[in-house]
Amino acid sequence: MNDENVKLLHIAGELTSYFLKHKSKDLGFNIRITDKMTEISINARDVVLSPEQTEKLRVQMNNPRQLEVEGYYSNLAGGGHVGEELRLVSAMTDVEEISVSETEGTIIRLRR
């Protein structure tokens, strides 16, 4: 498996872990790979975060992508760094959208 696929697996795992910690039992995940970019989307249909939880998620995900240290962070993803999982993901991606609604749950869309 190439390095890019390993990074995608780490990102998917961290996002899945985040929503499983929020007791999600209805997760939808999509990865779309093109020549120019990769889009990653996860939808926890049964998790409606409170405004406070949503703001905390936005703060955790509000790190600029850090290409120069991406390889290092991808090796940390999946490890025992409780509370830092989404900061690692945000260092490897650009956040496109975080939305929360009663009808669709919580959606996170990322781009690499």
pTM, to two decimals: 0.81
36 φ/ψ angles, rounded to the nearest 5 degrees: -100, -25
pLDDT at 83: 53
- In which band, very low, low, confident or very high, does the pLDDT at 5 lie, cut at 50, 70 and 90? confident
In this prediction, residues 71-93 reach a mean pLDDT of 62
pLDDT at 43: 97
Strand order in the sheet with 38-44: 27-33, 38-44, 105-111, 94-101
In this prediction, residues 58-84 reach a mean pLDDT of 61
Domains located in the chain, CATH noted: 3-111 (3.30.565)
* Residue 41 to residue 108: CA distance in whole angstroms: 6
